[in-house]
Amino acid sequence: MEEVLYVSGKALPHINPHLEIWGGTIAIYLFIGGLAAGLLFFANFFYLKGKGNSMPMTIKVAPILTPIIIIIGLGLLVFDLHHKLYFWQLLLHIRMMSPMSWGAWTLTVIMIPAILWPITYLDDSIKYLQERNPKCKITGILIWANNLINKLPILPWIINIFNKNKKIAAYFTLFLSIVLGVYTGILLSAFNARPLWNSAILGPLFLTSGVSTAAALLMWLSNNPLERKLYSKIDLFLIAVELFFIIHLFMGMLSSGIAQVEAAQLFLGGPFTVYFWVLVVSMGLILPAILEIMELSGFHIPIAIPAFLVLLGGLLFRFIMVYCGQASGFNIL
């Protein structure tokens, strides 16, 4: 047994001089959560707008990804836990003041429509993918899944009830998708001891970023020119809103206390300056916005380039916010 004697209250491993608790798994989890929230938001929003036939990728096909990426995100979250075998205890209690409890229950509840929604469109999704690429291996998997579902005794009955109440389910899922997107930011902002994270803007900022990454992915996956142009316009608007939130995030920190000013300095001449302003803001927001404007103006720009840049920028943004937030703190003399 190794005995350690602490002679100072600041001699705390993984806490002082800065946190070393959360790493890349949490950053990817936040990115996946925002992406799933965005995909569900667009699917349900445009369904309620009556765009089922004109936007098949958004409403019918892309939602297949949402339960998969949510499960991956939950797997990353469990992997990051210190006591992994006790993760299920989060689902036995509801703590109204705990963002982690809110997140666990939101992800659990949203999984139900996230699974049922694409199942109700499996026939249409299979037809869409066969017309687009007859040799696509994913189509074979979906056909197998569709046949299996039809043989199960209870699931078809549940799907039938879901179909009859789809409009109500769409409103409910739309609300949950917004909650999920905001939660990815609130999970950080709840840590008052970290000046960078302690901001009410993080919730709307992470929601906007997540919806923007979903718009970029749908723009990339769709082969419908009208659908692509629509998402280019939506993404341009979301990028503008995201830049607005980023500017106000720093304005709020620079006009606050010493700890917040020091946190802002990490991005304004500090070690995270180049990573944030070059990789996230310039390459992940401004450059794809310019490319999308050029594409909408008639220039031939491969849609995969701005879409990839937005997705990469969204991922790097979460990595930087997680690591930089842990490097910020209140100096106690």
Q: Say which CATH number the domain at 323 has.
A: 1.20.1630.10
pLDDT-based confidence at residue 290 (cuts at 50, 70, 90): very high
Residue 19 resides in a domain: no
End-to-end Cα distance, the chain: 33
Ranges 94-98, 105-109, 226-230, 267-271, most confident: 226-230
Residue 18 resides in a domain: no
Residue 205 resides in a domain: yes
Asked whether the CA dihedral 311, 316, 40, 232 is positive or negative, the reply is negative
Residue 8 confidence (pLDDT) above 70? no
pLDDT-based confidence at residue 236 (cuts at 50, 70, 90): very high
Find the length of the chain: 333
Share of the chain above pLDDT 70, in %: 87
Residue 5 confidence (pLDDT) above 60? no
Residue 16 resides in a domain: no
Residue 2 confidence (pLDDT) above 70? no
Query: Which residue reads 């803001």 in tokens?
Result: 281
Question: Would you give the DSSP letter of residue 268?
Answer: T
Please tell me the predicted confidence (pLDDT) of residue 18: 55
Residue 11 resides in a domain: no
Residue 1 confidence (pLDDT) above 70? no
Mean pLDDT of 133-158: 83
Please tell me the predicted confidence (pLDDT) of residue 284: 94
Q: Mean pLDDT of all residues in the chain?
A: 85
Residue 17 resides in a domain: no
Please tell me the predicted confidence (pLDDT) of residue 332: 47
For the ranges 19-23, 174-178, 301-305, the lowest mean pLDDT is seen at 19-23
Question: Would you give the DSSP letter of residue 86?
Answer: G
Residue 10 resides in a domain: no
pLDDT-based confidence at residue 96 (cuts at 50, 70, 90): low
Spatial CA neighbour of 300 closest among 225, 231, 214: 225
Please tell me the predicted confidence (pLDDT) of residue 143: 86
Tell me the residue type at 292.
E
Please tell me the predicted confidence (pLDDT) of residue 214: 96
Mean pLDDT of 144-161: 84
Residue 6 resides in a domain: no
> What is the value of pTM for the model shown?
0.88
Domains: count for the chain: 1
Domain range holding 137? 24-327
**Taking the mean position of all CA atoms in its chain, how far away is CA 40?**
11
Residue 34 confidence (pLDDT) above 90? yes
| Nearest-10 crossing angle of helices 122-132, 99-120 | 70
